[in-house]
Homo-oligomer: A and B are copies of this chain.
Amino acid sequence: MAPRTRKPERRAEALTRERIVEAAVELLDTSGEGGLTFRALTGRLATGPGAIYWHVASKSELLDAATDAVVAAALATGPAGSAGSPHKEIGAVALGLFDAIDEHPWLATQLATQLSRNPWGPVTPRIFESIGRGVRALGVPEGGWFTAASALVHYILGAAGQNAANGRGAGSGVDRGEFLDSVSRAWEALDPGDYPFARAVADQMRGHDDRAEFLAGIDLILAGITAVHPPAP
């Protein structure tokens, strides 16, 4: 037993970048964005801050790594091309990200922060790739790939951010229906001269289903792509 110590893979003791990122994700999931501190991290990993800084350059690098790890996992489900149609495949990828944000609420803010600080980091090509395959399968001519994929990616990230706080009501304690109702009433109470549209739409907002609405937006963009690039007959 314990013969050569050649591959101590399973040792929980070894401090690696991976283990640090893992612990960071757990802390973020458990205690939210404010929960990730070097104090909490050293406590959980039973080390000092110096040990963490040996593997990771800064807190923001750690956050980037956590974000990348969660996004990669979200995009890895669904073996690429598994869905029936390109349309469905794009929807599946989008919903994968949507659900990841639902499970890891900190991801919305962090994705936005990371993408606006470093828009061309590792996360962007990951998402582009998953969406892009669907775009290509849709029959869009090569010249339109970048624009079509960009539009979808931007929509997905924007929508995901906006819908993040709507989650399954986890933590907030307030019922989602009640919450939307109060927002809807707030919109109805806006100045009629300044906000005619918001008031008119308040009722639709009240009853809307995040997921369905999210997919309806995808459908709208796909319809636009098809209209601009009609499939060959």
Interface residues of A (CB under 8 A from B): 105, 108-109, 112-113, 115-120, 124-125, 128-129, 132-133, 135-136, 142-143, 145-151, 153-159, 161-166, 183, 186-187, 190, 194-198, 200-201, 204-205, 208, 213, 216-217, 219-228
Contacts and interface: CB of A to CB of B under 8 A. Distances in A.
B151 A220 contact: yes
A49 B65 CA distance: 35
A38 to B, nearest CB: 18
Q: Chain A interface mostly helix, strand, loop or mixed? A: helix
Contacts of A197: 128-129, 132-133, 135-136, 145, 149
B113 A165 contact: no
A157 B213 CA distance: 17
26 contacts: A109-B112, A109-B113, A112-B161, A116-B164, A117-B165, A120-B183, A120-B186, A128-B198, A129-B196, A136-B197, A142-B200, A145-B201, A146-B201, A146-B213, A150-B159, A150-B217, A151-B216, A153-B158, A154-B155, A154-B159, A154-B162, A157-B162, A219-B224, A220-B225, A224-B224, A227-B227
Given A132-B201, A157-B161, A158-B158, 19 more contacts: A119-B162, A119-B163, A119-B165, A125-B190, A129-B195, A145-B197, A145-B204, A150-B159, A150-B217, A151-B155, A153-B158, A153-B162, A155-B155, A155-B221, A157-B158, A157-B162, A222-B224, A223-B227, A227-B227
Contact of A220 (B117, B147, B156): B147
B147 A217 contact: yes
Copies in the complex: 2
B148 A220 contact: yes
A71 to B, nearest CB: 14
